[in-house]
Amino acid sequence: MKHSIIVLLFLSMTVVFGQQPKKEINPETVEAIKNDIWVPFMEAYDQGDSSKLKSIHSKDIVRVTIAQNQIETGAYYLDSFGNYVQSVKEKGDKINIAFAILSTAIDDSGNIAYQTGYYRFSSQNKGNTGQSFVGYGFFNVGLRRENGTWKIWLDSDNHTKITADQFNNAPFVYDLNP
Protein backbone atom coordinates (compact mmCIF):
# COMPACT_ATOMS: atom_id res chain seq x y z
CA MET A 1 0.00 0.00 0.00
CA LYS A 2 2.77 2.44 0.96
CA HIS A 3 4.60 1.64 -2.29
CA SER A 4 1.43 2.28 -4.34
CA ILE A 5 0.91 5.69 -2.72
CA ILE A 6 4.50 6.71 -3.45
CA VAL A 7 4.20 5.61 -7.09
CA LEU A 8 0.87 7.43 -7.45
CA LEU A 9 2.33 10.59 -5.90
CA PHE A 10 5.36 10.43 -8.22
CA LEU A 11 3.16 9.94 -11.30
CA SER A 12 0.87 12.82 -10.37
CA MET A 13 3.87 15.12 -9.82
CA THR A 14 5.28 14.07 -13.19
CA VAL A 15 2.00 14.93 -14.90
CA VAL A 16 1.69 18.30 -13.13
CA PHE A 17 5.30 19.42 -13.53
CA GLY A 18 6.16 17.63 -16.77
CA GLN A 19 3.22 18.99 -18.74
CA GLN A 20 3.74 22.70 -18.13
CA PRO A 21 4.22 24.64 -21.35
CA LYS A 22 7.57 26.26 -21.98
CA LYS A 23 7.46 29.94 -21.00
CA GLU A 24 7.83 32.26 -23.96
CA ILE A 25 10.56 34.88 -23.55
CA ASN A 26 9.81 38.35 -24.86
CA PRO A 27 12.18 39.02 -27.81
CA GLU A 28 12.58 42.62 -26.61
CA THR A 29 13.98 41.32 -23.32
CA VAL A 30 16.48 39.09 -25.11
CA GLU A 31 17.53 42.07 -27.25
CA ALA A 32 17.88 44.30 -24.16
CA ILE A 33 20.10 41.68 -22.50
CA LYS A 34 22.18 41.44 -25.67
CA ASN A 35 22.63 45.22 -25.79
CA ASP A 36 23.23 45.70 -22.05
CA ILE A 37 25.46 42.65 -21.46
CA TRP A 38 26.83 40.75 -24.45
CA VAL A 39 27.71 43.55 -26.89
CA PRO A 40 29.52 45.67 -24.24
CA PHE A 41 31.25 42.50 -22.94
CA MET A 42 32.65 41.74 -26.41
CA GLU A 43 33.57 45.41 -26.95
CA ALA A 44 35.38 45.54 -23.60
CA TYR A 45 37.53 42.58 -24.62
CA ASP A 46 38.12 43.94 -28.12
CA GLN A 47 39.05 47.43 -26.84
CA GLY A 48 40.82 46.35 -23.66
CA ASP A 49 38.38 48.55 -21.73
CA SER A 50 38.30 47.54 -18.06
CA SER A 51 35.78 50.26 -17.16
CA LYS A 52 33.29 48.97 -19.73
CA LEU A 53 33.85 45.42 -18.51
CA LYS A 54 33.19 46.41 -14.90
CA SER A 55 30.09 48.42 -15.87
CA ILE A 56 28.15 45.35 -17.05
CA HIS A 57 28.54 43.62 -13.70
CA SER A 58 26.61 44.21 -10.50
CA LYS A 59 28.76 45.55 -7.67
CA ASP A 60 27.90 42.43 -5.65
CA ILE A 61 28.89 39.98 -8.41
CA VAL A 62 29.49 36.35 -7.49
CA ARG A 63 32.00 34.67 -9.81
CA VAL A 64 32.46 30.89 -9.78
CA THR A 65 35.46 29.47 -11.61
CA ILE A 66 34.50 25.82 -11.66
CA ALA A 67 37.83 24.35 -12.83
CA GLN A 68 39.66 26.04 -9.94
CA ASN A 69 36.95 25.39 -7.29
CA GLN A 70 37.05 29.12 -6.66
CA ILE A 71 34.51 31.81 -5.82
CA GLU A 72 35.32 35.53 -5.98
CA THR A 73 32.97 38.39 -5.19
CA GLY A 74 32.42 42.11 -5.49
CA ALA A 75 35.14 44.68 -6.00
CA TYR A 76 37.96 42.15 -5.59
CA TYR A 77 36.75 40.14 -8.56
CA LEU A 78 35.87 43.19 -10.68
CA ASP A 79 39.29 44.77 -10.08
CA SER A 80 41.08 41.52 -10.86
CA PHE A 81 39.07 40.95 -14.06
CA GLY A 82 39.46 44.58 -15.14
CA ASN A 83 43.21 44.46 -14.49
CA TYR A 84 43.52 41.37 -16.69
CA VAL A 85 41.82 43.09 -19.64
CA GLN A 86 43.88 46.24 -19.07
CA SER A 87 47.18 44.30 -18.90
CA VAL A 88 46.45 42.60 -22.23
CA LYS A 89 45.94 46.02 -23.81
CA GLU A 90 49.09 47.47 -22.23
CA LYS A 91 51.19 44.61 -23.67
CA GLY A 92 49.81 45.40 -27.12
CA ASP A 93 47.99 42.08 -27.33
CA LYS A 94 44.30 41.58 -28.12
CA ILE A 95 41.66 39.23 -26.84
CA ASN A 96 38.29 38.45 -28.35
CA ILE A 97 35.24 36.72 -26.99
CA ALA A 98 32.00 35.68 -28.69
CA PHE A 99 28.88 34.22 -27.13
CA ALA A 100 26.35 31.58 -28.16
CA ILE A 101 23.21 31.69 -26.02
CA LEU A 102 21.53 28.32 -25.51
CA SER A 103 18.75 29.16 -23.06
CA THR A 104 17.11 32.07 -21.30
CA ALA A 105 14.74 32.00 -18.33
CA ILE A 106 12.99 35.08 -16.94
CA ASP A 107 11.09 35.54 -13.70
CA ASP A 108 7.50 36.80 -13.75
CA SER A 109 8.55 40.36 -12.88
CA GLY A 110 10.84 40.50 -15.92
CA ASN A 111 13.70 41.75 -13.76
CA ILE A 112 15.70 38.57 -13.14
CA ALA A 113 17.05 36.33 -15.89
CA TYR A 114 19.27 33.27 -16.18
CA GLN A 115 21.15 32.36 -19.34
CA THR A 116 23.31 29.44 -20.37
CA GLY A 117 25.56 29.20 -23.36
CA TYR A 118 29.01 28.87 -24.82
CA TYR A 119 31.79 31.40 -25.23
CA ARG A 120 34.62 31.28 -27.73
CA PHE A 121 37.87 32.89 -26.67
CA SER A 122 40.73 33.88 -28.96
CA SER A 123 43.81 36.05 -28.65
CA GLN A 124 46.32 37.87 -30.80
CA ASN A 125 49.84 38.61 -29.65
CA LYS A 126 51.45 41.91 -30.51
CA GLY A 127 52.89 41.79 -34.02
CA ASN A 128 50.85 38.78 -35.16
CA THR A 129 48.29 39.37 -37.87
CA GLY A 130 45.91 36.52 -37.09
CA GLN A 131 43.86 35.41 -34.13
CA SER A 132 44.96 32.37 -32.18
CA PHE A 133 42.02 30.22 -31.22
CA VAL A 134 42.20 29.38 -27.54
CA GLY A 135 39.03 27.47 -26.78
CA TYR A 136 35.42 27.22 -25.79
CA GLY A 137 33.69 27.36 -22.46
CA PHE A 138 30.22 26.71 -21.12
CA PHE A 139 28.73 29.46 -18.95
CA ASN A 140 25.79 30.18 -16.67
CA VAL A 141 24.89 33.74 -15.73
CA GLY A 142 22.35 35.26 -13.41
CA LEU A 143 21.20 38.68 -14.59
CA ARG A 144 19.06 41.35 -12.99
CA ARG A 145 17.88 44.81 -13.87
CA GLU A 146 19.47 47.57 -11.86
CA ASN A 147 18.08 51.02 -12.57
CA GLY A 148 16.64 49.77 -15.87
CA THR A 149 19.87 48.15 -17.12
CA TRP A 150 20.70 44.45 -17.13
CA LYS A 151 23.74 43.51 -15.01
CA ILE A 152 25.54 40.22 -14.36
CA TRP A 153 25.25 39.28 -10.67
CA LEU A 154 26.25 35.59 -11.01
CA ASP A 155 28.81 34.26 -13.47
CA SER A 156 30.20 30.76 -13.69
CA ASP A 157 31.95 28.88 -16.43
CA ASN A 158 34.07 25.91 -17.29
CA HIS A 159 36.07 24.84 -20.34
CA THR A 160 34.18 22.56 -22.71
CA LYS A 161 34.93 20.59 -25.83
CA ILE A 162 32.52 21.55 -28.59
CA THR A 163 32.87 22.06 -32.31
CA ALA A 164 32.62 25.31 -34.23
CA ASP A 165 29.33 24.01 -35.68
CA GLN A 166 27.89 23.44 -32.22
CA PHE A 167 28.83 26.99 -31.28
CA ASN A 168 27.56 28.54 -34.51
CA ASN A 169 24.26 26.63 -34.47
CA ALA A 170 23.12 27.96 -31.09
CA PRO A 171 19.83 29.90 -31.09
CA PHE A 172 21.63 33.23 -30.63
CA VAL A 173 25.26 33.88 -31.60
CA TYR A 174 26.84 37.24 -30.75
CA ASP A 175 30.20 37.95 -32.38
CA LEU A 176 31.86 41.30 -33.15
CA ASN A 177 34.28 39.59 -35.57
CA PRO A 178 32.28 36.87 -37.38
Per-residue confidence (pLDDT) for residue 178, from 0 to 100: 74
Q: What is the CATH code for 23-174?
A: 3.10.450.50
Residue 6 has pLDDT above 80, yes or no: no
The answer to whether the CB of 163 falls within 8 A of the CB of 176 is: no
For residue 129, is pLDDT > 90?
no
Tally of CB atoms within 10 A around 93: 15
The residue-averaged pLDDT of 86-111 equals 94
Query: Is the model's pLDDT at 149 over the cut of 90?
Result: yes
Residue 113 burial (CB count, 10 A):
21
User: pLDDT-based confidence at 132, cuts 50/70/90?
Assistant: confident
pLDDT at 54 over 50: yes
Q: What is the pLDDT of residue 14?
A: 46
Mean local confidence (pLDDT), 41-51: 96
Q: What pTM was estimated for this model as a whole?
A: 0.85
Radius of gyration of the chain (CA): 19
User: Is residue 35 within 8 Å of residue 76, measured between CB atoms?
Assistant: no
Residue 10 CA from chain centroid, whole number? 34
Work out the burial of residue 163: count CB atoms within 10 Å of its CB; fewer than 13 is exposed, 13-18 middle, 19 or more buried. exposed
Instruction: Give the pLDDT of residue 15.
Output: 46
Average pLDDT of the segment spanning 153-163: 96
pLDDT at 18: 55
pLDDT of amino acid 46: 94
More confident residue, 128 or 52: 52
Give the start-to-end residue ranges of the domains of the chain.
23-174
At a CB cut-off of 8 Å and minimum separation 6, what does 155 contact?
57, 61, 62, 63, 64, 139, 140, 141, 142
- Please count the CA atoms within 13 angstroms of the CA of 35 that sit on its side-chain side: 8
